[in-house]
Amino acid sequence: MICTALNTQRIVIVALCGALALPAIASAEPTREDLKRSVELRETWQYLTRDIAWPAAWMPDGKSFSYRKTVEGGFAFETVDVATLNKAPAFDQQRLAEALSTELGEPVTALRLPFEEFAYDDTGQAITFAIHYEGWRCTITDYQCAQQIDHRRPRGFGVVRDLSVPADNRPRVSPDGAWAAFVQDNNLVLRKSGEASIIPLSEDGSEGNFYDPETISWSPDSRHLMIYRVKPGYPRHVLRVEAAPEDQLQPKLNSQLYPKPGDAVDLEQPVLFDVSARSHEDIDRGLFPNPYQLSDPHWRSDSKSVAFDYVKRGFGQARIISVDAQSGATHAAVTENAKTFVYADRRFSHDVGNLGQEIIWASERDGWNHLYLIDGKTGRVKNQITKGDWVVRDVVKVDDDKRQIWFAASGMNPGEDPYFRHYYRIDFDGRHLTALTPARADHVVRFSPDMTLYVDTYSRVDLPTISELHRASDSSLIATITKGDISRLTAAGFRPPEVFKAKGRDGKTDILGLVVRPQNYDPTARYPVIENIYAGPHDSFVPKDFWPFGYHSGGDKVIGMQALANLGFIVVQIDGMGTANRSKAFQDVAWKNLQDSGFPDRILWHRALADKDSSYDISRVGIYGASAGGQSTLNALLFHGDFYKVGVAMAGCYDNRMDKISWNEQWLGWPVNDSYAAASGVDNAARLQGDLFMIVGEQDSNVDPASTMQVVDALIKADKDFDLLVVPGGEHTVGRSSGPIDYVTRRMSEFFIEKLQ
């Protein structure tokens, strides 16, 4: 029986009395101090580890490599001399921090430099890295830093040029130095070296069908060039009102070029020019009739042909188109067809010897992502290089002379987590497959420039990072470089998340996830469950490496889940079907079916864990996510409201017709059809069950914030109750600090406490 029901500060606590043979409901009421400790957990714990290393960066001469590692108070960048194994600071972190502080206009401290990895430039005298997705270059001799500016004309999601910005029309000099090509009055022109006179090469260019100087590509022998003539696509702009700008009282109106699904994209016509004959020819479009995107032209080293990549609108086909330099005739060097989609962002090709005779090509045609050797003249498969029920994740190096490939793959080792990355070497003919990373963990390998050595950095969620130097010839260990120490972190209360797997909807495929419990977890109590969801088809998302704190660009990972769990929940994260890095069939579940989000697998996973764990209360399940995870969160309450009771959806792309063209046409195809409506939170708003809290940044430049407001409008029309927080000035990350507790995080935590506890 229920003995008391106490309502304090909107948090209801129910005490069970009598002799019921049920686990007690966890009922300690989280206080404001608990919330504060929860939000600050990342900062409190992050600097307790030692010698957790990041992947290495090699000096151009291969004599040393560098990496970041955890030290007292933050992070240090260290360099190892390969010959002596002596260690020294990679650079003067204090001077670099001062230089960045000046350029960024905000304080940067030496032990908290705002990047995790860097690369050396060709001289070894400067490093490059990214801060908030922007490229930077800093010298490590005189410590001068500058943002790397891309001078090319911006393109909305890569397919519609921003014509309000001038193109980069610097003269493109021919390899022999005799000519400079550029565009004048929308037409291609030449200028002989040392002369001022202009020689027109085209006359058919116009404002609505112009030659793009950024696509000029010279043949190595300087006899031909290729350029694209462009018919502009539809310049859709998203308008956002900035209600409370920091530099003025009155609101601002911001505009962003933002193509959406179904919009007309730039139509690029390749044109081949014979410089000496002053002639040109439009390349026949028969092999690329309906392009979503063409890559820039690429000449073969013998100047006999030029090639470009073609992705068909709707993503059902990808090709390499080869063009004969003399005749302009085309043939498909490679053709990849798919009944569902070709995953464009994961395409890989390598032109052996840069001659067009043989091409290394990644394909999922046998149901798994593998490498093939293609005859570049006929497009036929000469042989399949890799084969098996596992996936090639990345190609590191192709050695044309030795006819060998170094690559990363996952799923090859029976009984191991199928997402763990390992590294291998194989011959072009598929023989001599050699494993380089035997440890049962997730690996990131960085090879020396001459491929004779490599640094293997590996870990698991329960194995602190280990970094080792190996010989590439036989993978023998030269030295252990770092071994992570988490003793202080463990003493502070950290426990690695639990790995749990259950069978998916087909009854045979393993679905993997992580379980994070409160620090004061009581196995005799009953805890509400919260799922952290991101189900975007473009990747897998459950962490496999150790570092639990996330990255500047990667969110909070496990520590964010731990902070929420400490408020009295069991928090989990799952990779269901429809995500990447497994079989083609596994990912194909998402095709024209984004509302699925792997929920049939996720719910089975929850039920399987509840069957094994009496503290796991699946009568009280919440869910949260951002971006595509926000869409999945809403869809949980729309399509599975009998299971998920509470959702916090942040910055969601709730209607894929409102979101960016690139991501959505990849998974829902073209033309826009009923599959877009089927996944729409607007069209399905009347199905809402449970408690929904939506959060959106007013200035979200990734997902049109109007998508959130259209769901709001539909929910109101359907007479559905919900909560909404609009963050003025907020971007896609929808977070602003409010005193010692991040406002958005606090509001999300309080919502779950109120609705689930």
Given 296, 315, 347, the domain boundary residue is 347
Residue 26: the pLDDT is: 60
* pLDDT of 14 above 50: no
Please enumerate in sequence order all residues whose Cβ is within 8 A of that of 617, keeping only pairs 6 or more positions apart, or say none.
25, 526, 527, 528, 529, 610
> Could you tell me the pLDDT band of residue 727, with boundaries at 50, 70 and 90?
very high
- CATH number, domain containing residue 567: 3.40.50.1820
Contact criterion met (CB below 8 Å) for 580 and 538: yes
Q: How deeply is 248 buried, as exposed, middle or buried, from its count of CB atoms within 10 A (0-12, 13-18, 19+)?
A: exposed
pLDDT of residue 30: 85
pLDDT digits (tens, 9 = 90+) for 296-351: 999 999 999 999 999 999 999 999 999 999 999 999 999 999 999 999 999 999 99
What are the tokens at 327?
Answer: 């005749």
Tell me the pLDDT band of 12, cut-offs 50, 70 and 90: very low
Residues 211-234 have a mean pLDDT of 98
Longest dimension (CA), the chain: 99
Query: How many angstroms separate the CA atoms of 721 and 693, rounded?
Result: 10
Out of 451, 467, 485, pick the residue that ends a domain: 485
- The reported pLDDT for the residue numbered 740 is 43
- Residues 175 and 246 reside in one and the same domain: yes
> In the numeric block, which tokens belong to residue 569?
């929940």
Residue of higher predicted confidence among 556 and 325 = 325
Residue at a domain's end among 347, 376, 406: 347
Give the pLDDT of residue 23: 53
Residue 181 clears pLDDT 50, i.e. is over it: yes
Confidence (pLDDT) at 412 = 98
Distance of CA 600 to the CA centre of its chain: 24
pLDDT tens by residue, 424-441: 999 999 999 999 999 999
Residue range(s) defining the domain that contains residue 216: 156-347
Confidence check: pLDDT of 74 > 80: yes
Produce one character per residue of 627-649: b if its CB has 16 or more CB atoms within 10 Å, e if not.
Answer: bbbbbbbbbbbbbbeebbbbbbb
Q: Tally the residues of the chain.
A: 757
> Does 193 lie in the same domain as 94?
no
DSSP assigned state of 29: P
Q: In this model, does residue 25 exceed pLDDT 80? A: no
pLDDT of 698 > 80? The answer is yes
pLDDT, greater one: 162 or 33: 162
Question: Is 479 part of any domain?
Answer: yes
Quote the tokens at residue 87.
Answer: 């260690």
Q: Are residues 300 and 334 in the same domain?
A: yes
Q: Is the pLDDT of residue 280 over 80?
A: yes
- Measured distance CA(565)–CA(141) in Å, rounded: 47
Same domain, 540 and 575: yes
Confidence of residue 673 (pLDDT cuts 50, 70, 90): very high
Average pLDDT over residues 625-644: 98
357-398 confidence digits (pLDDT tens): 999 999 999 999 999 999 999 999 999 999 999 999 999 999
Residue position matching structure tokens 């001077």: 95
Please tell me whether residues 575 and 722 are part of one structural domain.
yes
**At 424, which helix (H) or strand (E)?**
strand 421-427
DSSP conformation letters of 105-168: TS---GGG-S-S--EE-TTSSEEEEEETTEEEEEESSS--EEEPP--SPPEETTTEE-TTS---
Q: With 60 as the cut, is the pLDDT of residue 22 above it?
A: no
Strands 187-192 and 237-242: unpaired
In a domain, 101, yes or no: yes
Show the tokens assigned to 622: 């919440």
pLDDT digits (tens, 9 = 90+) for 446-472: 999 999 999 999 999 999 999 999 999
State residue 16's pLDDT score. 31
Q: How far apart are CA 160 and CA 155, in angstroms?
A: 5
- On whether residue 16 sits in a domain, the answer given is no
CATH at 476: 2.120.10.30
Same domain, 686 and 558: yes
Distance CA 684, CA 705 (A): 18
The pLDDT score that the predictor gives to residue 677 is 98
Same domain, 431 and 552: no
Output the pLDDT for position 32.
86
Residue 506, domain member (yes or no): yes
Q: Is 440 exposed, middle or buried (0-12, 13-18, 19+ CB in 10 A)?
A: middle
In a domain, 666, yes or no: yes
Mean pLDDT of 668-696: 98
Helix H or strand E encompassing 102: helix 93-104
Average pLDDT, the chain: 94
pLDDT at 27: 57
- Whether the pLDDT of residue 18 is over 50: the answer is no
The pLDDT tens digits of the residues spanning 469-505 come to 999 999 999 999 999 999 999 999 999 999 999 999 9
- Relative to beta strand 691-697, strand 616-626 is unpaired
Query: Are 139 and 163 found together in one domain?
Result: no
Residue 612: CB atoms within 10 A of its CB come to: 9
Q: What is the pLDDT of residue 231?
A: 98
CA 612 to chain centre: 34
Task: For the beta carbon of residue 620, count every other beta carbon within 10 angstroms.
Answer: 18
Give pLDDT, residue 557.
Answer: 84
One domain for residues 378 and 451: yes
**Distances in Å between the alpha carbon of 283 and those of 307, 313, 331, 649?**
11, 19, 11, 48
What does each C-alpha distance from 54 to 100, 116, 137, 444, 549 come to in angstroms? 21, 7, 20, 9, 13
pLDDT at residue 219, rounded to an integer:
98
Cβ neighbours around 564 below 10 Å, total: 27
Q: What is the CB neighbour count within 10 angstroms for residue 155?
A: 18
Of 51, 128, 64, residue with least CA distance to 453: 64
pLDDT of 9 over the 80 cut: no
Residue 573 contacts residue 613 (beta carbons within 8 Å): no
Q: What are phi and psi of 208, to 5 degrees?
A: -95, 5
pLDDT mean over 97-118: 97
Given this model, what pLDDT does residue 508 score? Answer: 98
Residues 6+ apart with CB under 8 A from 571: 515, 516, 529, 530, 531, 532, 561, 562, 564, 565
Same domain, 476 and 417: yes
Q: Is residue 111 part of a domain?
A: yes
Q: What confidence tens digit (pLDDT) does each residue in 136-150 have? A: 999 999 999 999 999
Q: How many structural domains is the chain composed of?
A: 4
Does 285 lie in the same domain as 176?
A: yes
Which CATH number fits the domain that encloses residue 161?
A: 2.140.10.30
Are the C-beta atoms of residues 616 and 609 closer than 8 Å to each other? yes
For position 39, what pLDDT does the model report? Answer: 86
Does 679 fall in a domain?
A: yes
pLDDT at position 358 is 98
Res 199 pLDDT > 50: yes
Residue 438 included in any domain: yes
pLDDT of 13 strictly over 90: no
pTM: 0.94
From residue 569, alpha-carbon distances to 32, 404, 431, 606, 615 in Å are 16, 50, 51, 14, 10
In the chain, pLDDT over 90 holds for what percent of residues? 92
pLDDT at res. 19: 32
Same domain, 429 and 321: no
Determine the residue type at 65.
Answer: F
Tokens read off for 546: 């150790």
Q: How far is 596 from 601, CA to CA, in rounded Å?
A: 10
Q: Which residue is listed with tokens 């933050």?
A: 74
Across the range 108-131, mean pLDDT stands at: 97
Q: How many CA atoms lie within 13 A of 228 on its CB side?
A: 20
Residue 580 vs residues 368, 384, 418, 492: alpha-carbon distances, Å: 11, 22, 12, 35
Q: What is the pLDDT of residue 133?
A: 87
Identify the band that residue 546 occupies on the pLDDT scale cut at 50, 70 and 90.
very high
pLDDT at 474: 95
